[in-house]
A and B are shown apart, each in its own frame.
Chain A
Amino acid sequence: MLQILIYGAVSSAIYAMLAVGFTLIFGVARILNLAHGSFYALGAYAAYVLTSLLKIPLFLAAPLAVLLVAGFGVVMERFLVRPLRQSQLAVLMITLAVSLAVEQALFLIFGSEYRNVPSFVAEKLSIGGVDISGQRLLALVAGVLVLLTLWLFIQRTRLGAAILAVSQDPEAAQYMGIPTNRIFSIVIAISAGTAALAGVLVSPFLTVQPTMGLLPMVKAFAIVIVGGLGSIPGSIIASLILGYSETIVAYLISTSWTELVSLVAVVITLMIRPSGILGRRAAF
């Protein structure tokens, strides 16, 4: 029982880090970023390169990896997405093209075999009789901290207020003197950074391979649809629901069936409440 509670929390935290970034960039810039999964994969690979190949100590390598991927996100948005923003289809196509290009580049450089990243914390902890690796626990703690910081940042700072303003009405925000394009850059950096952090944190206990980004991205879609497109609290609630349902299904039935959970959740949401748990009433 306690095992479900803890493992469910860990996977919820990782899903939440992915989904929040995805929903943020959609809510603010109306960009449906199909390359979101590649940020996650790039984060994991950056951690691998920095630690295993360049021998940089982990606690330095992790923030560096996150910064690198955030920079990649900014460059992608500026030079590939922004010129095509008028057409929704073109944005979808270009981001999908980026994700394929990243996947293929990783495949060409590193090959398809699994890569290992050393653990941040080696010792195992025991909570109430449940053994859990320190790394998973770190992912949980880091995830909660990141989400809290993000929430405080958006609610309490001037820049956060500007982001909210742009998400409500980009044109009006522009008239009020908010540099919309710079806000987009900041938001994509946050979005790419959180996804990369998720990738860095899971890299020691999940397999690092070129296609690793696709399935978490699909999960992020599912979470965002269940939670409501563009709603950050909604996607956190949905992450908890999905993370726990998957853990329970894995525990009670088998791990094979966990992949179906997100699909079922999406279908049920779209049938009953298409705007999601906390989405606006009109489904865009």
Chain B
Amino acid sequence: MRRISLIDIAGAIVLVAILALAPMFVSSNYLTGVLTVCAVYGIWASSWDFMSGLTGRENFGHSLFIGAGAYTAGFLATIWSTNPWLSLPTAVGVAIAFSLLVGFPTLRLRGPYFALAMLSASAILQRLCLIFWEYTGGEEGLYGLDPLIKSPLHYYWFVLAVLVVTVIVLTLLAQSHWGLLLRAIRGDEATCQAAGINVTFYKIASLMISAGFAGLGGALYAHYQLQVSPPLFSVVVSITVIIMVYVGGIGSIYGAAVAAILLTLLTEMLRGFGEYRLWIYTLTLMLILFFLPNGLIAPLWRRLTERLR
């Protein structure tokens, strides 16, 4: 990965400024809400990219961590009715616990076990949510969470700030020695192992980081929607996140976040298509797989700024 240059920082500042100021010009609660969701998806996509994009271990059940975080916030708010701010760190903790549960048996192994296990685990957890409806509220989910911040605009700024911090932290990690190791694992795991690198430790630790941010995003989403429901665990959520990362350019992190924001806005515009929305999404994915194997956002940004570096 190339170093961050000034033009990257300038681009990021301009983008964040536009996002932060957008609700000031078009003051509507609707737009603020959509942008909040954009930022949440940005957190989810960049956290997926950190683990799976760098190590090449595709996580097909990111919704497991997202749902775990969201439901943690839901349980804390509705059953124990604690201080809502407590739900953010707790959600991170629970998501990390889940990542250990799935990651420990599967990430030691090479091959497709991790992808299969994550997909299965998230599907089964969604099912369990429906089966144990006495505790989880079944299809309806849990209602009546307290907002963290009363004003939607201030909450949006808060989520945007979390997104910015997430992207900065993950990018710095990806640029560090740690990130180099993760990419080396992607390249050739056996060689890394032969070089004395504890491959399993790095894979599990990066999954923990990824899960933590996903859980945080899940809790933020729960406190925006003020309810949680089983579709948060669904394969559709996972695949949406993966499509975003794919469009952004795998392994770039900032690309994932930007693609998440753009695609969420696009989905919102496609809302008129109703049930056909997922179709359009799936079709987009197929087209990208065939024609843009390297993604769109990150390669485009690199091309555009090549002269200015």
Q: How far is the CA of A221 from the CA of B290 in the complex (A)?
A: 27
Interface pick from B24-32, B105-113, B165-173 = B105-113
Question: Chain A residue with minimal CB distance to B288?
Answer: A93
B-chain residues with CB within 8 Å of residue A225 when the two chains form the complex: 113, 116-117
Contact of A32 among B116, B278, B283, B286 (CB under 8 A): B116
Provide the main secondary structure of the chain A interface.
Answer: helix
CB of B120 within 8 Å of the partner chain: yes
Provide the main secondary structure of the chain B interface.
Answer: helix
Contact of B120 among A90, A92, A221 (CB under 8 A): A221
> Known: A218-B119, A256-B131. Contact between A104 and B279, CB under 8 A?
yes
B interface vs A, CB < 8 Å?
56, 58, 60, 105-106, 108-113, 115-117, 119-121, 123-124, 127-128, 131-132, 235-236, 239, 242, 246, 275-276, 278-279, 282-283, 285-286, 289-290, 293
Q: How far is the CA of A96 from the CA of B122 in the complex (A)?
A: 15
Q: How many A-B contacts at CB < 8 Å in the complex? A: 102
A-chain residues with CB within 8 Å of residue B131 when the two chains form the complex: 256, 259
Q: How far is the CA of A114 from the CA of B27 in the complex (A)?
A: 44
> Known: A108-B275, A270-B106. Contact between A218 and B289, CB under 8 A?
no
Top 3 A-B pairs, shortest CB-CB distance: A284-B111, A270-B105, A256-B131
Interface pick from A125-133, A168-176, A260-268 = A260-268
Contact check, A271 vs B124: say whether CB atoms are below 8 A apart.
no
CB of A201 within 8 Å of the partner chain: no
Contact check, B293 vs A90: say whether CB atoms are below 8 A apart.
yes
Contact check, A218 vs B120: say whether CB atoms are below 8 A apart.
yes
Contact check, A100 vs B235: say whether CB atoms are below 8 A apart.
yes
CB of A101 within 8 Å of the partner chain: yes
Q: How far is the CA of A249 from the CA of B58 in the complex (A)?
A: 32
B-chain residues with CB within 8 Å of residue A283 when the two chains form the complex: 109-111, 113
Q: How far is the CA of A215 from the CA of B126 in the complex (A)?
A: 11
A-chain residues with CB within 8 Å of residue B236 when the two chains form the complex: 100
Interface residues of A in 80-129 (CB under 8 A from B): 80, 83-84, 87-90, 92-94, 96-97, 100-101, 104-105, 107-108
Contact of A93 among B105, B113, B124, B246 (CB under 8 A): B246
Nearest CB on A from B229, distance (A): 15
Contact check, B123 vs A87: say whether CB atoms are below 8 A apart.
no
CB of A222 within 8 Å of the partner chain: yes
B-chain residues with CB within 8 Å of residue A107 when the two chains form the complex: 275
Contact check, B113 vs A108: say whether CB atoms are below 8 A apart.
no
Q: How far is the CA of A100 from the CA of B120 in the complex (A)?
A: 15
Q: How far is the CA of A48 from the CA of B116 in the complex (A)?
A: 30
